[in-house]
Structure 1
Amino acid sequence: MKKILSVAGAALLTVLTAVFAFGQPAHAAAGFSVSNGKLYDANGTEFIMRGVNHAHTWYPQQTSSFANIKALGANSVRVVLASGDRWAKNDTADVANVISLCKANRLICVLEVHDTTGYGEQSGAITLDRAVTYWLSIASALQGQEKYVIVNIGNEPYGNQGYSTWATDTANAIKRLRAGGLTHTIMVDGPNWGQDWSFTMRDNAATVFNADPSKNTIFSIHMYGVFNTAAKVSDYLDRFRTAKLPILVGEFGNLHSDGDPDEDAIMAYSQTNGIGYLGWSWSGNGGGVEYLDMTNNFNPSSLSSWGQRIFNGANGIKQTAKEASVFSGSTPPPTTTPPTTTPPTTTPPTTPPPTTTPPTTPPASGACTASYAITNSWPGGFQAEVQVKAGSSAINGWTVKWTYANGQTISQVWNATITNSGSAYTARNVDYNGRLGAGASTSFGFLGTANSTNTAPAVTCTAS
């Protein structure tokens, strides 16, 4: 009888052990994992990201930013890296140093390759497959860091053209990373410059998730002008929550050239529903979106209005961030007054320069040319496209000007910001299409009104 009780007790213990085991994410022992639409750290504790993006690849000297971001309350940082295709490569040693900075400051490190941005529409952008080649080339810096690092395959991997293959290309990229030995949680961005207005990511997310042999993928939506109402924010994120697919807001701002995102709704919904967010960005923006800088010249003691909002406002980072449990027991960094950095004594670059060591003054920029074409017309109206092309040197931004001779006016524009003074019009790049490599091109378009005469004007282009 005693032996029977022992066997029964052992059986009961086995059952209970199994029950508790199934209650934990399958990959908890190795690193981050996802289960039922939520992200868990290596201890099996749910982790909700509250952090910011930092443009490390363009400002590699700003290593104090990691400590400053932590001191303001963040629990994670999304770090911009480059594969060497559009910007100078962040090599294995540099990536290892970034990871060490994250760990030293008890920040979870989301690493992303920026060279994929706007593929299919942006000249020079690379494929997700090419991004995977980069990740595998620096795998030695990533392996063993699964508790602290999430791999974001490629930033905004498609523009507004050619994105129909997003699901297939993303699934193949995930499978290739797994075959290459990476066991980290993988993050994937949506197409349409990350905003997925076509719902391509939303409607194919389950297929992509199931293509991951480890079922350890999280989806990232970037919320700018497309998400300008609370209804749009909640509807998009609700679809993922209902499907129990993991989602976070990988980028968002308080203003944008393509519309005014509802940052209050984004932050409130995320907090209420346990969804992570990573604001764009710490400092160093250019090309007309400098208002997205959270700090002035990387100085944590000089927050912009956006910085004050995201760090100190309602549902902000300081109020809601919880440090990852994997750092429990390690020595925390100072949590008193944020450390300060000495602002640059010269004017910082107006846009992230494509060099490994940013100059202390704005980099010299090449010339550009522009051409104007009427692509469609009808009584009283027309559609036009302007092609912008860099000269023999890379450029960091562009301005195109023209004057109408026949009383034409512009009513709707895309891929540029346009202003006018009477018949004189000025178009400037938006954040994602200002930086062009030597000989590279981009375009913007618009709808206009016209009388019976609609002469195409001469256009000029100035690089910045």
Structure 2
Amino acid sequence: MRKRLATAAGALLALAAAVLAAPSPAQAGTAAGTQAAPGFHVDAGRLVDAGGRDFVLRGVNHAHAWYPTRTAQALKDIKALGANSVRVVLATGDRWAKNDTADVAAVVSQCKQNRLVCVLEAHDTTGYGEQDGAVPLSRAVDYWIGVEDAVKGQEKYVILNIGNEPYGNGSSGATPWTADTKNAIGRMRAAGFEHTLMVDAPNWGQDWSFTMRDHAAEVFAADPAKNTVFSVHMYGVFNTAAKVKDYLNRFTSQRLPLVVGEFGHLHSDGDPDEDAVMSAARQLGVGYLGWSWSGNGGGVEYLDMATGFDAARLSAWGRRIFSGADGIQQTAKEAGVFSDGGPAAGNCEVGYRLSDWGNWFNADVTIRNTGPTAVKGWQLTFSFPGGQQLHQTWNAKAVQQGSEVRAVNESWTETIPAGGTVSFGFNGSSTGTNGVPAAFALNGGTCAKS
């Protein structure tokens, strides 16, 4: 998210200009003779995980750099609401207080505990050339090299977004994007980073100059690992379905990997078409990461998904992105890396013991792992059969949306041994006939009822 507003008039004029010729199709995949990355990598224009399975990012942004004490709970809540990934704001120390190696390592660990793919981004580059205090991409690379011990070996779980919105809208703001981005990628590879790298567009991320769009193939080809994903931020510039679809199609038609790294439902530089973003992303298999979980200020507080970081008080935007059409709960699939070595879907049994006192009730839930290997990290989903409302939960974290409940483990209930069980409980209120949920799913696999 930019810290100052883009020039909307210039953006709209640029988008209304004659369509520029698209570059030649790129061979966006693992090159012949190039060793595949040990974790996430690009194959034929698609982001795939370490097991070669297609992975589509469906998540949100969290401002860790400014709200570090909120991160542990935020990640649990974001996972409980169905996300498969989170983009985490980090600071290099140039503009905001530095997130050091130990802090970054803790964030990665928390992402993994919550079975979320971690997209880490360096934010101090935001609006370079136009924003006071912003630093060039070269400084972001310096930062990554400085904290490399926190992310090396985590290629299965972590994507590195080199620098957020690296250029503003100045007269020369977008001009050096291509060269600087290629140089940044080259330095990251020379330093030994094997991760999937994500690069943001200029123009405060919105690319109304089409600089990234028209030079993406060139930048991708310059990556020795052929493992770069492009990220556009869709705010007021993308205020119609036609603009959204045209931009996304330009990448997918060339087999170039693209993510909508930020977008919102409103903005002071124009009204983005969030419905089109989510619909087109679903149709094209493009990832998206909405801005942002909570903590927005400076007049854009309406971009908070959770009011005051409270998952029980989702805003209209929060409800839209998590439970609306083409939203996270409808389209997110957990990364296969979190199931590798674990039990097959359906190797589980759930017991639900209900104590009903009319308007109030308690429920004790036991999950049994009937598979041959341990489950490390879990999410249990089920739907209340009536007008029940969740209140307090113990030994798990749970969020309710409509009738659906999503419960995720606490650190002390993270592992379900092969043949073993974990239990959690909750209380709630009821306005009608209570009952046991009809079905349960553990990490996406249907469980038997006991």
Provide TM-score, normalisation by structure 1: 0.67
Alpha-carbon separation, structure 1, partners of 2:215 and 2:100: 33
Which of these residues, 76, 93, 96, is aligned with residue 85 of structure 2?
Answer: 76
**Does 1:236 pair with 2:262?**
no
Which of these residues, 123, 127, 147, is aligned with residue 132 of structure 2?
Answer: 123
Counterpart of 1:331, as a letter, is K
Alpha-carbon separation, structure 2, partners of 1:93 and 1:333: 25
Alpha-carbon separation, structure 2, partners of 1:340 and 1:243: 42
User: What secondary structure sits across from 2:42 in the alignment?
Assistant: strand
Superposition map of 1:30-429 within 5 A: 30-62=38-70, 63-161=72-170, 162-328=173-339, 329=342, 330-336=375-381, 339=397
Alpha-carbon separation, structure 1, partners of 2:208 and 2:323: 30
1:31-65 residue CA offsets vs partner (Å, 9 max, x unmatched): 00002211000010000000000000100001211
Comparing 76-85 with 237-246, which one deviates more in the overlay?
237-246
Contact 2:200 2:232 (8 Å CA) reproduced = yes
Alpha-carbon separation, structure 1, partners of 2:289 and 2:191: 28
1:440-460 residue CA offsets vs partner (Å, 9 max, x unmatched): xxxxxxxxxxxxxxxxxxxxx
Contact 1:25 1:40 (8 Å CA) reproduced = no
1:357-401 residue CA offsets vs partner (Å, 9 max, x unmatched): xxxxxxxxxxxxxxxxxxxxxxxxxxxxxxxxxxxxxxxxxxxxx
1:245-279 residue CA offsets vs partner (Å, 9 max, x unmatched): 00010000000000000000000000011000000
Question: Displacement, 1:242?
Answer: 1.1
Question: Displacement, 1:163?
Answer: 1.8
Comparing 330-339 with 125-134, which one deviates more in the overlay?
330-339
Alpha-carbon separation, structure 1, partners of 2:127 and 2:35: 33
Question: Displacement, 1:29?
Answer: 6.2
Contact 1:28 1:40 (8 Å CA) reproduced = no
Alpha-carbon separation, structure 2, partners of 1:25 and 1:217: 18
Q: Considering only CA atoms, is the larger Rg found in Structure 1 or Structure 2?
A: 1
1:398 paired residue number? none
User: What secondary structure sits across from 1:140 in the alignment?
Assistant: helix
- Quickly say closer, same or farther: Cα 1:218–1:306, change in 2 above 3 A: same
Alpha-carbon separation, structure 2, partners of 1:178 and 1:160: 29
Alpha-carbon separation, structure 2, partners of 1:42 and 1:102: 17
Contact 1:53 1:79 (8 Å CA) reproduced = yes
Alpha-carbon separation, structure 1, partners of 2:195 and 2:179: 20
Percent identity of paired positions between Structure 1 and Structure 2: 67
Cα root mean square deviation, aligned:
1.9
Counterpart of 2:309, as a letter, is F
- Quickly say closer, same or farther: Cα 1:248–1:36, change in 2 above 3 A: same
Contact 2:105 2:150 (8 Å CA) reproduced = yes
Question: Displacement, 1:243?
Answer: 1.0
Contact 1:299 1:340 (8 Å CA) reproduced = no
Aligned residues: 321
Contact 1:120 1:163 (8 Å CA) reproduced = no
1:389-436 residue CA offsets vs partner (Å, 9 max, x unmatched): xxxxxxxxxxxxxxxxxxxxxxxxxxxxxxxxxxxxxxxxxxxxxxxx
- Quickly say closer, same or farther: Cα 1:29–1:126, change in 2 above 3 A: closer
Counterpart of 2:243, as a letter, is K
Counterpart of 1:128, as a letter, is L
- Quickly say closer, same or farther: Cα 1:202–1:325, change in 2 above 3 A: same
1:288-329 residue CA offsets vs partner (Å, 9 max, x unmatched): 000000000111111000000000000000111000000002
Alpha-carbon separation, structure 1, partners of 2:260 and 2:32: 24
- Quickly say closer, same or farther: Cα 1:41–1:26, change in 2 above 3 A: farther
Counterpart of 1:274, as a letter, is G
Contact 1:25 1:44 (8 Å CA) reproduced = no
Alpha-carbon separation, structure 2, partners of 1:303 and 1:272: 26
Alpha-carbon separation, structure 2, partners of 1:310 and 1:217: 26
1:316-355 residue CA offsets vs partner (Å, 9 max, x unmatched): 00111000000002423343579379xxxxxxxxxxxxxx
Alpha-carbon separation, structure 2, partners of 1:308 and 1:25: 46
- Quickly say closer, same or farther: Cα 1:259–1:289, change in 2 above 3 A: same
